[in-house]
């Protein structure tokens, strides 16, 4: 394979592994072996639940997968992702236009990063959805006081499988990252797989550039 500065995108570019780009891999030991199983737990908890886990362990990716499941069961979903710098609920988050009569299933507020809300703001959110008869599914690093539906995490076997899926999206590129390096980066980041992918991006980029130099192009 010829190497050149106009090479295809680094396989560890964010767009290849951003939430929704890779299929979430459910694990029964973490709460549910499938989106359907997670839905059953959510229903049993009366449409209240949290997905808890450290930074970079797939909580947002899980939400993307689960929103489709909620839609398939007839729920309307209000998706809110708390963003810097305000980390506040957007204006009008609790309003939407009713169409076609009352929904067969309760609307669901899907709140990504709920631990960023101030305590009083979180109380107001819970009060509002309770009054309106909505459900809530939130992600957080620590408990929010909701039933825990899933505990996210990335162990070495899952990390290797996910990196393989990332690399398989760019089969035209040489494999410049070894499996043991994937695990080393996972350890170095304390299990933050998202940060490990950023570091693997830098590693791949450096080796690609060196390969280009060595090829004399």
For residue 133, the domain's CATH number is 3.40.50.300
Please give the C-alpha separations between residue 44 and each of 48, 68, 133, 137, in angstroms, as whole numbers. 9, 19, 16, 13
Q: What is the pLDDT along the chain (217 residues), one digit of tens a residue?
A: 344 444 557 889 888 887 777 889 999 999 999 999 999 999 999 999 999 999 889 999 999 899 999 999 999 999 999 887 778 999 889 876 555 555 578 999 999 999 899 999 999 999 999 999 999 999 999 999 999 999 999 999 999 999 998 888 888 888 889 989 999 999 999 999 999 999 999 999 999 888 878 876 5
Name the token pair of 160: 């290797």
At 175 the three-state DSSP class reads: coil
For 41, the domain range is 28-87+102-151
Do 141 and 177 fall into the same domain? no
**Closest to 19 measured CA to CA, from 112, 144, 87:** 112
Do 53 and 147 fall into the same domain? yes
Distance CA 71, CA 62 (A): 14
Q: Which of 133, 151, 169 is the last residue of a domain?
A: 151
- DSSP annotation string for 50-69: EEE--TTSSHHHHHHHHHHH
Distance CA 120, CA 103 (A): 29
Contact 178, 141 (CB under 8 A): no
Q: Which residues pair with 140 in a beta bridge?
A: 52
* Element at 121 (helix H, strand E): helix 119-132
Do 124 and 165 fall into the same domain? no
Do 166 and 124 fall into the same domain? no
Do 135 and 159 fall into the same domain? no
Domain count, the chain: 2
Distance CA 140, CA 152 (A): 10
Do 128 and 193 fall into the same domain? no
């Amino acid at each position: 394979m010829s190497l050149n500065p106009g090479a295809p995108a680094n396989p560890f570019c964010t767009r290849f592994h951003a939430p929704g780009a890779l299929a979430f891999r459910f694990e029964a030991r973490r709460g549910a072996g499938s989106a359907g199983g997670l839905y059953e737990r959510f229903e049993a908890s009366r449409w209240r639940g949290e997905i808890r886990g450290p930074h970079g362990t797939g909580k947002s990716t899980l939400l993307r997968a689960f929103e489709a499941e909620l839609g398939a069961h007839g729920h309307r979903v209000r998706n809110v992702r708390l963003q810097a710098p305000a980390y506040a609920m957007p204006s009008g988050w609790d309003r939407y236009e009713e169409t076609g009569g009352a929904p067969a299933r309760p609307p669901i507020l899907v709140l990504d990063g709920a631990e960023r809300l101030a305590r009083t703001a979180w109380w107001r959110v819970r009060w509002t959805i309770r009054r309106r008869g909505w459900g809530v599914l939130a992600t957080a690093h620590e408990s929010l006081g909701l039933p825990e539906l899933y505990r996210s995490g990335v162990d070495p076997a899952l990390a290797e499988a996910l990196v393989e899926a990332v690399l398989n999206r760019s089969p035209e590129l040489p494999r410049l990252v070894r499996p043991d390096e994937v695990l080393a980066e996972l350890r170095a980041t304390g299990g933050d797989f998202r940060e490990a992918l950023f570091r693997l991006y830098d590693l791949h980029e450096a080796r690609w550039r060196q390969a280009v130099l060595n090829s004399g192009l």
